[in-house]
Amino acid sequence: MTKTKGLKWCLFFILIVSLCLISFNGVMAAERTEIRVGAPASITGLNAMTGKEHRWGYEQSVKDINAKGGVYVKDLGKRLPIKLIWADDKSQNDGGAQAMERLIKRDKIDLALSSNITPINIAAGTVAEKYKVYYQIVVSWIDFIEKENFKWVSDLFSDTGRAAQSPFAIWDEQLPPEKRPKRVALLMEDNQDGQGFGMGFKAWAEKYGYKIVIDSPFAPGTKDFSSHILKYKAAKVDAILTLIPPTDGITLLRQMKEQNLKVPYIHGWKGFWTREFEKAMGGDADYIIHDGFWSDKMGAPGAKKLQEQFIKAFGYDSTSVGLSYANPQILAMAIERAGSFASAKVRDQVFGGEFKGTMMGDVKYNEKGLAFTPFLALQWWKGERMPVYPYKPDVWKLKMRPR
Amino acid sequence: MWEYITFGLIVQLFVNGILFGTMYGIAAIGLSLVFGTMRIIFLAQGTMIIFMAYICYWIFTLMGIDPYLSLVIIVPLSLLLGIGLYHILFREAAGLEDKNISLLIAVGLMFLMENLITVIWTANPRFIETSYTSFAFRPMGINISVTRLNGLIMALLSTAGVLLFLKKTMIGMAVRAASEDMISATLVGISPHRVNAVAFAIGIGLAGVAGVGLATIYPFDPYYGFIFALKAIISLAIGGIGSVVGALLGGILLGLIESLASFFFSGGWSDAISFAVFLIVLMFKPEGLFVRSINKA
Amino acid sequence: MEDKRSILISVLVVIAFACVPFVLDVDKSYFVFFLFLSFCYVTITQAWNLVGGYTGQISLGQHAFFGLGAYTTAIIWLRDITKTGYFFDPVTMILSGLVPVVLAIIVGIPLLHRLKGDYFAIGTLGVGEIIKVLFVKGGSFTGASDGLHLPSTVFESMKPYYWTGLFLAIFSTVVVYFLIRSRIGLALRAIREDETSAASHGVHVLKYKVFAFAVGAFLTGLAGSLYAYYLFHINPDAVLKLNWTLYPVLMCVIGGTGRIMGPVIGAFFMNGVFFLTDIYFVEINPIMAGLLIIIVMRFMPGGLIGLKDMIMSRK
């Protein structure tokens, strides 16, 4: 009795789920009224904060494109608006794959834009590759993407090698020899980005002739840095290079203050750019250097307005949203050049293509579909972000915190 | 790292470890009480702590009330929340033989709360910045953070409070009797729902205390809680499941281990080391390191 | 009589599932992907059911076995160890099941010998986390945090994934089904009910517990191997995340612990919930999923399979 009943229930549930899924398995209209662009994004989970800003950048960009009447598709002889479709990658590496499956199979997307974490995009890119859907990535290390040998995936970002060069270049360029750091410490989050970055720093330090005295990573999720700080104190460290999440970045600096450690040069990736950081630190944020991919001061068309809109939406300014904004821009240009939104044709325009006047300035992809954009380094000063890399002598010169 | 060792540095490492471990300890006491009566590991404790930290943040930013003062609001609030949660969610499940049910309700609660916090307060980091944040006493060159010291004091006071409650009040003694043997306790007329609800409420109440402690020391985000819950579970197991003082001491010991491990070994290993210590303790003294001292007390 | 009927129905259901690729376009249907993922979950949930449900040893270290299975596949492939073709190669997959078995025996003997109940649960959790750190710190052998990259160009169609997934789900269900009907199953359930009394009746408690733990590890490792073929980029965050423990426990208990159909129902139901909330409540999908878990557990403590018992008793 029990067994058959159990099976009936089992069948019943499978039936319900199948009905739900089959009935929403996406039905395409005969005539195309929109270009369907899918994007995995970290809507929930650890990365939800930057995920939200990233999504805002895409949405704003698509809104602006559609406000101009959409994208002209020559093959159809008319302008079509872009419809942006989101799928949650849950901030998990393999979540990118699942989100991409959904976008391709359920939402029947034509083209795809990326999430903003390298391993998530690799997982999603692998799926895009399987079904030959063009996937246009931003914010993923190009050296990692290059290793995958993708045929249907392009990427616009920096690489860990060159990004790790900036602190050493800054010191050599802007400091007299006697003031340059002598004892450098690395504090890397023990994940893909952190390990890759750490290797980059070590390689560049050797080339530039700087000495790394402490290289101690921390496990993701670490909430206490006092032991690291004691090491720095003991080793008399005068520069810290770190990749640390925003919340923990505040913890690190607070604990340094508690432990009475002052370091002349602190340069942080991922962690120190948030406005929350500046607010939490108050005056102590001064001298600290943070990363960014974009600045409204780079002079791209519409950059000032975009920054204003961002501030209006989030209550603080952004150092990254331009890159997110540029991604749909480039895609739209590529579609117009291809005269079609078929994946193969759009991809062929991007690989080896050059796109002028985007929110990231002029973007040039190589034959493998990789485009490099330099990483910025900005120094906090009285609540403002001052550019220290690339070096602009007329605007700002690096300041070292007095001991 | 050996070349840098000095006496002062060792003392500082210990001070840091103890102050850091208190946060684990205070989370573990709550777990210990809930485990004592309901026999479940309340996985959502970390998320409850974070939720309380956000409430503390709200009280601080919206009403300008000092975080320590806000304990007067937060503790009763969380006690009520605890009673409410118990009666709405766990009442039926607590009576069942299969403890997985209660465990999973806790997991569901964790999923729900994490995302709810994200919806209400966004995923951006939040923090409480007061005049005494990052302030430290420096006796004899040793740095003692004032917010962390307050955390230790709060932990000690709440441990003492819970112990007093368990020993001196009728309902407290009932909770203690039920922790030792629920069936016999029921036979002598103790209502299981009442003791469960009281223990659960105090557990959440302690989450309130821990939330305030955490909010004053750390910046936090919605996903901060789960790691805390994991560490609290380890503390609990090290100290002895079901013992209040053991949980606090277990937390402090864990903090010490982490502090020392990340100083002497590369930081990435500290998690593995604390798990290994915890496995060794489980293997050789599964009742926990500090349990006997409790029974004597 | 009843048995024959249910076996007949099971066979029919299995045939129906096996024929799905002939009806739906496997590479275009999201539903087929849903089924594939559900099969993976059925496999690991059934494995957990044997250990947690039938033997009563709540293991929270399944993610270690899953990850180890996935990594074994990747390492054998990339280092060209067995020379057997690697992609959906039975030898590779079976080895990916056996390596977790070795781990299960090594950690299982001390853990199952010394620890009971909740202590065992937390102990296995600790083992899982240690394994994760070892992989993150594994240098070039495990590819550290970046993990290992398999050549994704070998992918042609979802079909082999679908059928292998279906096979694994059936295989694990059949294995568990026959195990619990055998003398071994009798011993396992005796252990769950009362260890001391089982021991006094001549059951070698530790041997049986380790056996169940190892079989669970084997099945989980197989699923890990299949997932490695699907993902191609094997990294600690993807295959060693705690979800690979949390989900099987969740699915098993939601479906009905210690019942052969429990994991099947639970896996399909929860995976369906995850998929649907993902589509219709994108912004708040964990809230909806959490709410559903609470509701099911609050009102159907026997799991979904217990639902019919409740309805029957009301009649």
Q: Which CATH number is A101's domain given? A: 3.40.50.2300
Distance between C239 CA and the closest CA of chain B, angstroms: 18
CB neighbours (10 Å) of residue A169?
Answer: 17
pLDDT above 70 for A19: no
Model confidence pLDDT, tens digit, residues A86-101: 999 999 989 999 999 9
Report the relative pairing of strands A35-41 and A153-157 from DSSP bridges.
unpaired
Strand C148-149 and strand A384-389: pairing?
unpaired
Residue A22 has pLDDT above 50, yes or no: yes
Backbone φ, ψ for residue C134 (5° rounding): -60, -40
- pLDDT tens per residue across span A187-216: 998 888 888 888 889 999 999 999 999 988
Same domain, yes or no, for A234 and A381?
Answer: yes
Looking at the partner chain, which of A46, A190, A235 has a beta carbon nearest the beta carbon of B4?
A235
What lies within 8 Å, CB to CB, of B267 at 6+ separation is A190, A216, A217, A218, A219, A222, A227, A228
Lowest pLDDT segment from A4-8, A118-122, A340-344, B71-75: A4-8
* A109 in the same domain as A51: yes
**Record: contact A92-C241, CB cut-off 8 A:** yes
Minimal-distance CA residue of chain B relative to A316: B124
Would you call the peptide bond into A301 cis, given omega within 30 degrees of 0 as the criterion?
no
CA dist B223 and A45 (Å) reads 7
Task: Band the pLDDT of A1: cuts 50, 70, 90.
Answer: very low
Chain A positions touching C233 (Cβ under 8 A) are 93, 119, 122-123, 126, 148
Residues A188 and A266 occupy one common structural domain? yes
Distance in angstroms (rounded) separating the CA atoms of residues A120 and A92: 7
Domain that holds residue A168: 162-292+377-389
pLDDT digits (tens, 9 = 90+) for B198-252: 989 999 999 999 999 989 988 888 888 888 888 888 888 888 777 888 889 999 9
Which DSSP state fits C153? G
- Whether residue B100 contacts residue C257, with contact meaning beta carbons closer than 8 Å, is answered with yes
Helix B146-168 vs helix B170-180: angle between axes, to the nearest 10 degrees? 90
Q: Which residues of chain A from 13 to 32 reach within 8 Å of chain C, CB to CB?
A: 13-14, 16-18, 20-22, 24-26
Cβ A76 vs Cβ A31: under 8 Å: no
Rounded CA-CA distance B99/B55 in Å is 30
Q: Is residue C164 a part of any domain in this protein?
A: yes
Are B278 and C297 an interchain contact pair (Cβ–Cβ within 8 Å)? no
Residue A267: closest CA among A401, A161, A140, A158: A401
**Chain B neighbors of A234, CB-CB under 8 A:** 1, 4, 6, 9
Higher pLDDT, A21 or C73: C73
**Helix axes of A321-338 and A343-350: crossing angle, nearest 10 degrees:** 110
> Does A144 sit within 8 Å of C282, measured CB to CB?
no
Q: Which of A306, A310, A295 is nearest to A374 (CA)?
A: A295
Count the alpha carbons within 13 Å of A288 in the hemisphere toward its beta carbon. 26
Please, which chains are in contact with C (at least 3 CB pairs closer than 8 A)?
A, B
C296: confidence class by pLDDT, cuts 50, 70, 90: confident
Distance, in Å, from the CA atom of B99 to the CA atom of B145, rounded to the nearest integer, reads 41
Q: Which residue of B has its CA nearest to C52?
A: B100
- Model-level ipTM above the cut of 0.85: yes
Instruction: Judge: B13–A227 Cβ closer than 8 Å, yes or no.
Output: yes
Taking only the tens place, the pLDDT of each residue in C27-46 is 888 889 999 999 999 999 99
Sort out which chain B residues have CB atoms less than 8 A from C114's CB and list them.
282-283, 286
Model confidence pLDDT, tens digit, residues B100-124: 788 888 888 988 998 899 888 888 8
Are A92 and C237 an interchain contact pair (Cβ–Cβ within 8 Å)?
yes
What pLDDT score does B297 carry? Answer: 34
Identify whether the C-beta of residue A278 lies closer than 8 Å to the C-beta of residue A383: yes
Q: Which chain C residues contact residue A97 at CB under 8 A?
A: 230-231
Look up residue A401 and give its DSSP letter.
P
- With contact defined as 3+ CB pairs under 8 Å, the chains touching B are A, C
Q: Is B92 on the interface with A (CB under 8 A)?
A: no
Q: How many CB atoms lie within 10 A of CB C314?
A: 6
Most confident segment among A16-30, C159-173, C288-302: C159-173
- Asked if C290 and B108 come within 8 Å (Cβ–Cβ), the reply is yes
Alpha helices by DSSP H, C59-182: 62-78, 90-114, 117-136, 139-142, 159-181
Run of H or E residues at A286: none
Strands A361-364 and A354-358: antiparallel
Q: What is the pLDDT of residue C308?
A: 65
**A187 and A311, same domain (yes or no):** no
Beta partners for residue A71, in sequence order: A80
Backbone φ and ψ of B89, nearest 5°? -100, -40
Residue reference for tokens 């590759």: A129
Contact between B268 and A219 using a beta-carbon 8 Å cutoff? yes
Closest partner residue to C30 (CB to CB) among A43, A106, A129 is A106
Residue of A nearest to B6 (CA): A234
Nearest residue of C to residue B275, measured between CA atoms: C126
Beta-carbon contacts of residue C37 (< 8 Å; ≥ 6 apart): A98, C271
Span of A221-225, A338-342, C77-81, C304-308 with lowest mean pLDDT: C304-308
Q: Are residues A72 and A120 in the same domain?
A: yes
CB of A106 less than 8 A from some CB of C: yes
**What does the buried/exposed string (b/e) look like for A49-81 if buried means 16 or more CB atoms within 10 Å of the residue's CB?**
bbbbbbbbbbbbbbebbbeeebbebeeeeeebb
**Amino acid A40: pLDDT:** 95
Lowest-confidence region among A57-71, C105-119, C237-251: C105-119
Angle at C178 between CA C173 and CA C183, to 5 degrees: 145
Sequential DSSP letters for A140-191: S-HHHHHHTT-SSEEEEE--HHHHTTHHHHHHHHHS-GGGS-SSEEEEEBSS
Chain B neighbors of C250, CB-CB under 8 A: 104, 107
Cβ separation of B276 and C246 shorter than 8 Å? Answer: no
Taking alpha carbons only, the member of A211, A219, A212, A231 closest to residue A188 is: A219
Task: Count how many pairs of residues, chain A against chain C, have C-beta atoms within 8 Å.
Answer: 144
Is residue A25 domain-resident?
no
Q: Residue B266: its chain A contacts at CB < 8 A?
A: 215-217
B272 touches chain C (CB under 8 A): yes
C52-64: burial string, b at 16+ Cβ within 10 Å, e else:
bbbbbbbbbbbbb
- Please choose, from the candidates C211, C217, C206, C240, the residue with its C-alpha nearest in 3D space to the C-alpha of residue C103: C217
Q: What is the DSSP code string of A12-29?
A: HHHHHHHHHHHHTS----
Whether residue A240 is found in the same domain as residue A381: yes
Q: Is B157 on the interface with C (CB under 8 A)?
A: no
Tell me, yes or no, if C254 comes closer than 8 A to chain B by beta carbon.
yes
Please say whether the beta carbons of A39 and A58 come within 8 A.
yes
Report the run of H or E that residue B296 belongs to, with start and end: helix B291-296
Nearest CA of chain A to the CA of B286: how many Å?
Answer: 26
> What token pair was written down for C147?
């993990």
CB-based contact, C103 to chain B, within 8 Å: no
How far off is chain A from B124, nearest CA to CA, in Å?
5
CA–CA separation, C243 vs C291, rounded Å?
18
| Total of domains in chain A | 2
Indicate whether A209 and A97 sit together in one domain.
no
**C 292-311 → B contacts, CB under 8 A:** 292-294, 297-298, 301
| pLDDT value of residue C19 | 87
CA B168, chain centre distance (Å): 23
Q: Do B241 and C293 touch (CB under 8 A)?
A: no
Nearest Cα of chain C lies from the Cα of B227 at a distance, in angstroms, of 11
Q: In chain C, what residues touch B93 (CB-CB under 8 Å)?
A: 297-298, 301
Do A256 and A382 lie in a common domain?
yes
Cβ pair A11:C13 closer than 8 A: yes
Distance from CA of A122 to the nearest CA of C (A): 8
In this prediction, residues A326-341 reach a mean pLDDT of: 93
pLDDT of res. A26: 56
Question: B43 pLDDT band (50/70/90 cuts)?
Answer: confident
Binary contact (B268, A44; C-beta < 8 A): no
A396 domain-assigned: no
Question: What was the pLDDT predicted at C307?
Answer: 72
The answer, for C281 touching chain B at a CB cutoff of 8 Å, is no
Q: Which of A200, A190, A388 is nearest to A287 (CA)?
A: A388
* Contact assessment for residue C170 and residue C14, using Cβ atoms and an 8 Å cutoff: yes
pLDDT category of residue C24 using cuts at 50, 70 and 90: confident
Strand partners, A154: A136
Residues A290 and A282: their CA atoms lie apart, in Å, by 15
Q: DSSP label at A117?
A: S
* Record: contact C119-B282, CB cut-off 8 A: yes
- At residue B291 the predicted structure's pLDDT band, cuts being 50, 70 and 90, is low
Question: Does residue A147 sit in the same domain as residue A196?
Answer: no
Is the Cβ pair A280, B218 closer than 8 Å? Answer: no
Residue whose entry in the numeric block shows the structure tokens 């573990």? B28
Q: Percent of chain C scored above 70 by pLDDT?
A: 97
Which whole-number Å values give the CA distances from B124 to A91, A221, B69, C54, in the listed order? Answer: 15, 16, 25, 44
In a domain, A399, yes or no: no
Domain assignment of residue A27, yes or no = no
Q: Phi/psi at C111 (nearest 5 deg)?
A: -65, -45
Q: Do B1 and A226 touch (CB under 8 A)?
A: no
Rounded mean pLDDT of chain C?
88
Domain total in chain C = 1
Q: How far is B135 from chain A (nearest CA, A)?
A: 6
Considering only the beta carbons, identify the residue of A224, A259, A276 that sits closest to B20.
Answer: A224
**Averaged pLDDT for residues A371-376:** 89
How does DSSP assign C104-124, residue by residue? HHHHHHHHHHH--HHHHHHHH
Closest chain C C-alpha to B148 CA, distance in angstroms: 28
- Is the dihedral angle over the CA atoms A190, A196, A199, A200 positive or is it negative? negative
Whether the CB-CB separation of B114 and C286 falls below 8 Å is answered with: yes
Yes or no, beta carbons of A221 and B227 under 8 Å apart: yes
- Same domain? For A252 and A188 the reply is yes
- Both A53 and A154 in a single domain? yes
Residues of chain C in contact with residue A126, where contact means CB-CB under 8 angstroms, are 152, 231-233
**Do A247 and A233 belong together in one domain?**
yes
Inter-chain touch A276–B127, beta carbons under 8 Å: yes
Residue C185 lies in a domain: yes
Which chain B residues have a beta carbon less than 8 Å from that of A185?
none
Q: How does pLDDT run across C138-152, given as a tens digit for each residue?
A: 878 888 888 898 888
Which residue range is the domain that position C125 belongs to?
32-241
